[in-house]
Amino acid sequence: MSTTTKVDSSKTKSKASASAGATNLTGPYDPFASGDPFAEETTVKTVVPVKTEKIHIRLQQRNGRKTITTVQGIPDKYNFSKLLKAMKKEFACNGHVVHSADSDDEDSPVPPKKDGHGNVLQFQGDQRTNVKSFIISQGLLSEKEAKDQIVIHGY
């Protein structure tokens, strides 16, 4: 014969933790997360503007009074040889396209470094203002865009 005993649940004490009744409504807390942990979450996503590359026009001193104007950052969608030809004719100076793949150690077994400069146009003499006015006049950039995207370096 087996006898069963009934235990009254109101008389027994259970060992429940102090936070057993509380629930975490916000999810796990990450102390290393950036931002304000107490800020309200918004459902509207902010649109990050596309970073536009700037066109840098620099003047480099060669020897004595000789200078070179370098133009860097022109987008790859343009044909550099046609741009160079038109600019050389407009400015009455010589010029050259320096490709990023060009290097002095072409026979080196080491893979070439990615310098990120892209193609650079070089012109003889101080052609900084001429290059900027040419870019605007040919419609590569508007006057308003040119103010933000063209950076002229040098004295």
Domains in the chain with CATH codes: 55-105+116-152 (3.30.780.10)
Q: How far apart are CA 32 and CA 63, in angstroms?
A: 54
Give 114-147 pLDDT, tens digit per residue.
555 678 999 999 999 999 999 999 999 999 999 9
pLDDT at 117: 61
Q: Is the pTM value of this prediction over 0.75? A: no
Report the alpha-carbon distance of residue 118 to residue 100 in Å, rounded: 5
Which portions of the chain are predicted below pLDDT 70? 1-31, 33-52, 100-117, 155
* Amino acid type, 152: I
End-to-end Cα separation, the chain, in angstroms: 108
